[in-house]
Structure 1
Amino acid sequence: MGEGVRLPAALQAHALPCRHWDEATVHRRLTADPAGYLAFARRYLADLAAGRAQLQMPPKQVLDDPDGGDFRLMPCVVRRGQDALKTVKIVGTNRAQRRLPGQITVGELLVLDAAEQYVTDRLEACLLSSARTGLVAALALAALAPQARRIGIVGAGRVGYYAAIYCAAARTLERIELVDANTARAAETARALCDAGLPCRVAPRTDPACDAWLLATTSARAFCAPPPSAPPVVLSLGADAAGQRELTDAWAGRAALWVDSADALNYGDLRAWRARGLIDGTAPPDLLALLAQPPAAAPGAWRLFISTGCALYDNLTAAYLLGGG
């Protein structure tokens, strides 16, 4: 559109240089060196915790649709002295899935020029969002269950795939058990993980004897009850919208709780628990606090980590992709 049209001199504007990162490129870069991505993330977050970098991140804006879909605006700026990385993700929850069947996350992550604000990079955000959620899960699991060797992943979609990749890079896992109501999808994802060298198998049901469970579903119903029905360490990664649930009310107020960001109080299980008066509005400690001070070893202690999506980890991932690794 507009090709060959000459603007009047008074309206002339510069052509903006902008790189486009497709899904395949994002995936390739984020899986080429999972341990390197994890190490980069730890350094990035350590700089924030130590004050060597500063974070500017307003709450994400979520505009809901009647069918349960939404679109989200997630800006973030990380500054180091005179340098800054500015990102904003415009991403949607695609419930209709008519033109894009099987793809619940759509949209892009934009990187802005630090001084002039124009878009320098457009990164397709479906796999990026799933990968950064998997990264967050791996960091949290390493802090909450450092001795974990056998994990169960409920949900064999993209988040489940990346969570397995990065958890295996964070520590030696003896077995990854993959559970999904869609058995064909579970088998396909398990094959892909085995091809990547991971000790993965499809399981007919989740086993409470695992060291930890990772929940990566799009469930609207709370299905995960606490021990003895589940292991004492559970990471909920899928209930990131107002109408989604993964954790039963029996967890509320009884488990030590961490979140990816204070924003998590506004979505999923924590939103439901607040509405029912099961928890108050005090923000639990976030991943930065967890990494700075992991809990002491306490066999059997109930520990929950809840991720509903945080722009900081989009920004961190953009930094890694742009050459920060």
Structure 2
Amino acid sequence: MTLLLTEDDVTAVVTYEGLHAAMERALGDWHRAGVQHHPRVRVSSGGAGLNVLAGADAVAGYVGVKAYGARGGGRDHIVLLYGDTTGDLEAVVAARELGALRTGVASAVATRHLHGDTTVLGLVGSGQQAVTQALALASDNPGLAEIRVASRTPENRERCAAELADRLRGHGCAVSAVYDTAPACDGADVVCTATTSAVPVLDSGHVAPGTHVNAAGSNSLTRVEIDPALVRRSAVVVDSRDQARLEAGDLLAHVESGRLDWRQLPELGEVVAGTRGPLPVSAETDLTLFESLGIGIFDVTAAAFALAEARERGLGTRIDLS
């Protein structure tokens, strides 16, 4: 029978530390047989839309698909997991929170391999994705001393900072809300952007040499979240070349100018496996940049991890689809 995991089930069993280990393993297997993904497909009726991503993780033992609505906040996210030897539907996993968790963990994995330890985090954005970026980095960095939250709306940045301060109680990390990206980035060794902005929100002049940047907000060629001058200073890694070609608006101007070639972009899996390093955009390089778009293998691996943990704890509801 198929196991249904609700949002409450997923929240009860998934930890940042456990998910980090599972995703890092999958990324290390990135270019080996049985670990692959298909870029996001977007379909629309003219009103509501549907986004679909697919992936296969033979080590975890599943192939799967994630689907979520593109209107009204896209509240209903699900992952369908099929056994890779039987083809049976093993689980239906609620994935709204899981999607935010895996995006945050992807940035934490990238930061670990491209930068190392994080001590001061500048956070640009104040929504759910911003929260999970910060919590994922905190879980992998016991020495994280400070987080500064910048957002255009005062009440949003105050709310986000208060939530992070509460959830990181006992971590020894000071959290504050700041009025702009300049004070958020001042002295930060890692900066994460997680906004829905269509125009740059992170100015190159605010980011010091040696900083690592995780850009997790833009997943459309028509949206540019970071200053093109910052990209020009960066050595770049993407989660997927195929997905970047379709969605990396932050990189598009540099491809069109000839500074970058979609086909040459290194993938995070290659970096984790040790087969490639980040690609410099120009001779001015003094930053590293992870362009995070979100890919199906992350969803399959994360859902498989949630399923294994739920089975171990006896959580979930069995449903008969026959």
Instruction: State the TM-score bracket (shorter-chain normalisation).
Output: 0.7 to 0.9
Distance 1:75 1:236, change over 3 A: same
Distance 1:185 1:134, change over 3 A: same
Question: Which of 145, 151, 156 is residue 126 of structure 2 equivalent to?
Answer: 156
Do structure 1's residue 309 and structure 2's residue 294 form an aligned pair?
Answer: yes
Check whether the contact 1:93–1:106 (CA below 8 A) recurs between aligned residues.
Answer: no
Do structure 1's residue 201 and structure 2's residue 176 form an aligned pair?
Answer: yes
Question: Which of 147, 153, 169 is residue 182 of structure 1 equivalent to?
Answer: 153
Question: Which of 198, 204, 221 is residue 199 of structure 2 equivalent to?
Answer: 221
Find the counterpart in structure 2 of residue 46 from structure 1. 28
Q: RMSD of aligned C-alpha atoms?
A: 2.7
- What letter matches 1:89 in structure 2? K
Q: The residue matched to 1:57 in structure 2 has which SS?
A: strand
Distance 1:276 1:295, change over 3 A: closer
Find the counterpart in structure 1 of residue 112 from structure 2. 142
Find the counterpart in structure 2 of residue 11 from structure 1. none
- What letter matches 1:86 in structure 2? V
Q: Percent identity?
A: 23
Q: What is the deviation of 1:56?
A: 3.2
- What letter matches 2:298 in structure 1? Y
Deviation readout 1:147-178 (Å, 9 max, x if unpaired): 42001111111111111111011112000111
Check whether the contact 1:61–1:74 (CA below 8 A) recurs between aligned residues.
Answer: yes
Q: Partners in 2 of 1:70 and 1:137 — Cα distance? A: 27
Q: Partners in 1 of 2:251 and 2:44 — Cα distance? A: 18
Distance 1:114 1:291, change over 3 A: closer
More helix by share: 2
Task: Report the TM-score when normalising by structure 2.
Answer: 0.80
Deviation readout 1:66-89 (Å, 9 max, x if unpaired): 78x853221111224xx8311101
Q: The residue matched to 1:58 in structure 2 has which SS?
A: strand
Do structure 1's residue 129 and structure 2's residue 99 form an aligned pair?
Answer: yes
Correspondences of 1:35-184 after superposition (within 5 Å): 35-48=17-30, 51=32, 54-63=34-43, 70-80=49-59, 84-94=61-71, 97=72, 103-104=73-74, 106-171=76-141, 172-184=143-155
- Give the number of the structure with larger relative contact order, counting CA–CA contacts within 8 Å between residues 6 or more apart: 2
**Larger Cα Rg: Structure 1 or Structure 2?**
1
Distance 1:115 1:54, change over 3 A: closer
Check whether the contact 2:22–2:302 (CA below 8 A) recurs between aligned residues.
Answer: no
Which stretches in structure 2 are left out of the alignment for 5+ residues?
279-284, 313-322
Q: What is the deviation of 1:116?
A: 4.4
| Structure 1 segments of 4+ aligned residues over 4 angstroms from their partners | 64-67, 275-278
Which stretches in structure 1 are left out of the alignment for 5+ residues?
1-16, 98-102
Distance 1:64 1:234, change over 3 A: farther
Larger displacement relative to structure 2 (158-167 or 183-192): 183-192
Find the counterpart in structure 1 of residue 219 from structure 2. 240
